[in-house]
Chains A and B, each alone.
Chain A
Amino acid sequence: MASPDRGRPGEQMSQQTLLRVVAKMTIPFILVFGVYVILHGEIGPGGGFQGGVILAAAFILYGLVFGADELRRRIPPPIIDACMALGALFYASVGLASLLRGGTFLDYGMLKPHHAGDGEALGMSLVEYGVGLTVCSVMVTIYLMISERRSTIRPGEEGL
């Protein structure tokens, strides 16, 4: 059952039952692990960068098996673009928050003035979430951009 449209590997792959079933089974676990790595960045090995990459790997696996267009339908690109900016913005705003509380930029101790140690841990966690968000969305964007075939959308064609 060779598909006539050989240029679209995503569509071919989504025909394979084994891949679909295995991907559907593993993606939730990858997502949970990615979130775990981001949330436990200041306790165990890992952090925002690694966790964000693992999260992105789950989305990219979905895109590889079910096709990039399907991934674009599930997560609209405007949301991914917004997340890219929001992560970096979140990092900077944590720094601004400590500035407004009377400390220097990114002095997390000021987030909880009476318990600088706790504030430090809190600030580091928040900052890691921002890094994770940006890294994850940029990696998904790289995949989506690579998987595109043409640079223009023709009239009458389904858009993004």
Chain B
Amino acid sequence: MINPILVLDVFLLLLVAATAIAVISVRSLFSATILAGIYSLLMALVWTNMHALDVAFTEASVGAGISTILLLGALVLTKRFAKKEATVHVPALLICVITGLVLIYGTIDMPKFGDPNAPIHTHRVPRLVQQQVGKHETAAPRDKGHAHEGHPDDDFNGHAPNTVTSLLAAYRGYDTMFETAVIFVAGISLLLLLRRRREGDPGVVASSPADRNGPREGRGRETEGSRS
């Protein structure tokens, strides 16, 4: 008896592997970008097949959506084709294969997918799903809340029904806060590095009129010079 979900999983993962090989072998950067988007979309399907809807959502919106768009934006500034690659670099290939084998060896110890007796299903998660876990002894006592008025179908008693969100935002609230801080710092450093500045501002060297209508190749060096 073949499990149809397993068959679908294997089929999707084969497609994912084929797309990944296509991404690294194709020389047109535009094709590579679009193939990377397809890769993310296929991975989103794999996550959906595993009932990891939040991960699938993130993969689809970030991997297939935003990062494809950002790569396309970066593509405008570069050439359309990658340089001809040298032949296969044997030591690098060996390191990759060995790392992959070690990782696969590591998964042998993991419990089987969907095993109800896996530690994650017996240890702490049942209490988390009930959402009775406070952060600290002094935390507010967990009650059942009261049902939302006007919502007869709401049997969650005011708790957050999406376990993933309640784990991310409440149980691992510090973690998520500093993740947000990391994103914020990334934005700030991007602004510090790449923001356009006016000529004549402190620290910005004015360019001479001869540079302005110069050839395109000169532009990169000119900006380099004006920054230093």
A47 engages B207 (CB within 8 Å)? no
Cβ–Cβ < 8 Å partners of A145 in chain B = 190-191, 194-195
B158 engages A118 (CB within 8 Å)? yes
Cβ–Cβ < 8 Å partners of A107 in chain B = 134-136, 139-140
Partner of A146, one of B70, B134, B146: B70
Stretch of B29-37, B109-117, B162-170 at the chain-chain interface? B162-170
Interfacial residues, chain B to chain A (CB-CB below 8 A): 53-54, 56-58, 61-62, 65-66, 69-70, 72-74, 76-77, 131, 134-136, 138-146, 157-162, 164-166, 168-170, 173-174, 176-177, 180-181, 183-184, 186-188, 190-191, 194-200, 204, 206-207, 212, 216, 219, 223, 226-227
Q: Shortest distance in angstroms between A2's beta carbon and chain B's nearest beta carbon?
A: 17
| Secondary structure of the B contact surface, majority rule | helix
What is the 8 Å Cβ interface bit string for chain A, positions 123-153, against chain B (1 contact, 0 not)?
A: 1100110110011011101110111111111
A116-B142, A127-B176, A153-B199 known; A134-B184 Cβ under 8 A: yes
Q: How far is the CA of A146 from the CA of B134 in the complex (A)?
A: 44
Q: How far is the CA of A119 from the CA of B169 in the complex (A)?
A: 13
Q: How far is the CA of A9 from the CA of B188 in the complex (A)?
A: 27
Instruction: Assess whether A35 is interfacial by the CB under 8 Å rule.
Output: no
Cβ–Cβ < 8 Å partners of B212 in chain A = 154
Q: Which A residue's beta carbon lies closest to that of B148?
A: A118
Q: Which A residue's beta carbon lies closest to that of B181?
A: A88
B188 engages A84 (CB within 8 Å)? yes
Q: How far is the CA of A113 from the CA of B136 in the complex (A)?
A: 15
Partner of B187, one of A37, A84, A121: A84
Q: Identify 19 residue pairs between A and B in the complex whose beta-carbon atoms are under 8 Å apart, listed by A's number.
A: A9-B76, A47-B164, A84-B184, A88-B180, A107-B136, A116-B145, A117-B142, A117-B159, A124-B160, A124-B169, A131-B176, A135-B183, A141-B187, A143-B69, A147-B76, A150-B219, A150-B223, A152-B197, A155-B200
